[in-house]
Structure 1
Amino acid sequence: MFKYFLAEGVVCGHDLFVASAKEHPNNILKELPAPLLDEQRNELGKEATAVKSEDFQDSMKIAWRYQNLPKMEANPTTSPKFGHYYDISKTMSPELLRTIKWHSFYLPEELSLQPTVKTCNMNSAYGRLLLSIQRIIYQEGFDGSDPQKKQKNILRIGIQSLGSLLWGDDICCSDTPEDIHSLTKFLYVLRGLLRKSLSACIITIPAHLIENKAIMERVTNLSDTVVALESFIGSERETNPLYKDYHGLVHVRQIPRLNSLICDVSDMKDLAFRLKRKLFTIEQLHLPPDLSDTVSRASKQELAGSAKLLSSGCGAMAIGKKHLDF
């Protein structure tokens, strides 16, 4: 998703600012997915539709009782076009990358070029990054509060693995870190820079390593949109038949609520992602019907317990692994 955000900026002709403490920004840009042409996208859409139609016909022979239900198209390749689509099996051509202007921030190089920077009582790495973003916004004509003579454009900022130990932060090492407020101070100042500039920012955070829940709540409150990805690799859900068609879940923690007292609530709360050979897709999670007579009672209880976790409404009514009574 981080590379999708940057690739969309390249295709739209936006300026990029890529910051990382581990992987060099040059290598990140070299691995951006290649954009799909309209002809290629239509071919993928027809192929996906044909596979879905064949599976649907086969399933109707078994689950005939569901043949009158409306079909739901969860695959984005069959939906109206919004933005651009990309082939993750190929990388973006260097010629396309040269058409846009981009800036980089690689922390190991910055540490060797400048002395120690201490800004707003936050650690040196965050202070350097803020100064670099501020300089690009003011010098390259992205300051919305100051009339610019240059042609207006949008700056897309991508910050990778913020809050990790490589940034000099210790929130991933202990439940009671010494410098507990550096990350939230950085996000607070960055939020002010973004509000008065023609820029948008995506930040990835290793939330699974942060044990202090109060830190993640503050990070959520300081963000407009928060999306969490939960992979099935290494968990018991990897072998659960309920999730055999997916590779992980997508949790929408927060969505923007600009100029509104409350945020909009989407009808689709159960989302899952699937990594295909050429596409990364986010689909609505559909559970297969349990029509087999050979499934043991223990397996059915396990499936019922897993299905209970998907719906908060039914989950509050269920106790243990017992079936629901209506």
Structure 2
Amino acid sequence: MHEDPSKNSIVGTLSRFGGTETLISSGIPSLDELLGDGIPVGSLVIIEEDSQGLYARIVLKYFLAEGVVNKHRIFVASQEISSEKLIHQLPQLIESKPKNVEEPNVERPKMKIAFRYDNLPTEQKEPEQKFGHYYDLSSVMSQNYLDDCKITTWDDTKTLKSNSFYNQKYYELLTSIKNDLKSHNENNILRIGIHALGSPVWHLLDEINEEKALKDLTLFLYSFRMMIQTKKAVGYVTIPAHLFEKVDRLLHLSDIYIRLQAFAGTEFADNKYLSDFQGFIHIDKLTPKNGFNSKISSTIEHVFKLRRKKFTIEMLHLPPDLDATEVSGLGCATGSSKLDF
């Protein structure tokens, strides 16, 4: 089903279904595996930010870093921080696949039930890497990589007007992306990363209320998706959806919808069984073809872990001897239901 990535005409891509579909890596191998091997070219990926926006920004940095290493074209936009600053915060490439670090020899409690699980590893192994790279979050990317890549940062200086948007910044950004797509060489991939779209910075004007702000956001996403769906491009947009009451339509405007649910400040923060992780990751929507290879299950929860050097995603393994009080508060696939054994 898959072709050798080294034989693809575009560096950093993977072909499947007889060459009818091209995938790129998210920059996080464990996320690629969860998505069904990668992100199809022409897709719009929406990342629903955690309440602090910290982890969504990290996921976006991985996506952009993978593009820089493969010399894909990069377009970056943000109203929250400088796009230039975001580019210079990209993580450093790890030249070889990192080895799993052995845990210290700490005595583990014996299982009361299902003792056969005693000898199982405590951590999930890294997925077999089909393509993509690993990155070190503790170091920033070498300037040499940035110099070898064509990067466009949205400067937010043009003044354009459209009757379709209440906030003209959306129209200005859409026009900039459209111009970049026109000049894009189809022999390469264009990665478009937009950080914190729809945040309060986008709606500082007094006359723009939540209803108008959501209308601007949905119109932008609809137009953006139409622009890239037939192009050698992928849109990667982080959105602070928790600021809006009605966000169901955002799901329908995406090809892939990823929701990050951080533990900080919630009932999960003090749960001892989740102490090694920072949050749940939910894949609420996938393109139909990705569904064939996806590792997502309605009965399995996935969590993400942030360490000094890397961000990884693992399947949540719960001890089989939990009592009723310990089970309470651990969400299942929807993030709101209780475990039902």
* Structure 1 residue 116 displacement after superposition: 4.0
1:117 aligned to 2:161?
Answer: yes
Distance in 2 between the 1:75 and 1:288 partners? 14
Task: Output aligned runs, 1:309-320, within 5 Å.
Answer: 309-310=331-332, 315=337
Q: With CA pairs under 8 Å and 6+ residues apart, which has the higher RCO, 1 or 2?
A: 2
1:124-160 Cα offsets, whole Å, 9 max, x none, are 0110011100101112334xxxxxxxxx111000001
User: SS in structure 2 opposite 1:230?
Assistant: strand
Distance in 2 between the 1:250 and 1:167 partners? 26
Contact in 2 for aligned 1:119/1:127 (Cα 8 Å): no
Contact in 1 for aligned 2:72/2:189 (Cα 8 Å): yes
* Structure 1 residue 197 displacement after superposition: 1.5
Coordinate RMSD, CA, aligned: 3.2
User: SS in structure 1 opposite 2:85?
Assistant: helix
- Residue 207 of structure 1 corresponds to 241
More helix per residue: 1 or 2?
1
Structure 1 length as normaliser, TM-score? 0.75
- Residue 140 of structure 1 corresponds to 184
1:92 aligned to 2:127?
Answer: no
User: SS in structure 1 opposite 2:269?
Assistant: helix
Distance in 1 between the 2:147 and 2:274 partners? 41
Contact in 2 for aligned 1:14/1:154 (Cα 8 Å): yes
Q: Which amino acid aligns with 1:253?
A: D
- Residue 201 of structure 2 corresponds to 166
Distance in 2 between the 1:178 and 1:311 partners? 32
Task: Output aligned runs, 1:288-307, within 5 Å.
Answer: 288-290=319-321, 300-307=323-330
Distance in 1 between the 2:273 and 2:264 partners? 15
Distance in 2 between the 1:8 and 1:121 partners? 33
- Residue 154 of structure 1 corresponds to 189
Task: Output aligned runs, 1:221-300, within 5 Å.
Answer: 221-257=252-288, 266-267=296-297, 269-290=300-321, 300=323
Distance in 2 between the 1:94 and 1:141 partners? 24
Bigger Cα Rg: 1
Contact in 1 for aligned 2:111/2:321 (Cα 8 Å): no
Structure 2 length as normaliser, TM-score? 0.72
Contact in 2 for aligned 1:226/1:253 (Cα 8 Å): yes
User: SS in structure 2 opposite 1:238?
Assistant: coil
* Structure 1 residue 236 displacement after superposition: 2.2
Instruction: Report % sequence identity.
Output: 31
Distance in 2 between the 1:73 and 1:63 partners? 13
The structure-2 alpha-carbon separation of the partners of 1:73 and 1:117, relative to structure 1 and needing over 3 Å to count, comes to: farther
Contact in 2 for aligned 1:21/1:106 (Cα 8 Å): no
The structure-2 alpha-carbon separation of the partners of 1:130 and 1:317, relative to structure 1 and needing over 3 Å to count, comes to: closer
Distance in 2 between the 1:65 and 1:75 partners? 21
- Residue 36 of structure 1 corresponds to 94
Q: Show structure 1 runs of 5+ residues with no match.
A: 143-151, 292-299, 319-323
Contact in 2 for aligned 1:256/1:263 (Cα 8 Å): no
The structure-2 alpha-carbon separation of the partners of 1:164 and 1:263, relative to structure 1 and needing over 3 Å to count, comes to: farther
- Residue 54 of structure 2 corresponds to none
* Structure 1 residue 72 displacement after superposition: 6.3
- Residue 248 of structure 2 corresponds to 217
Distance in 1 between the 2:67 and 2:122 partners? 28
Q: Show structure 2 runs of 5+ residues with no match.
A: 1-58
More strand per residue: 1 or 2?
2
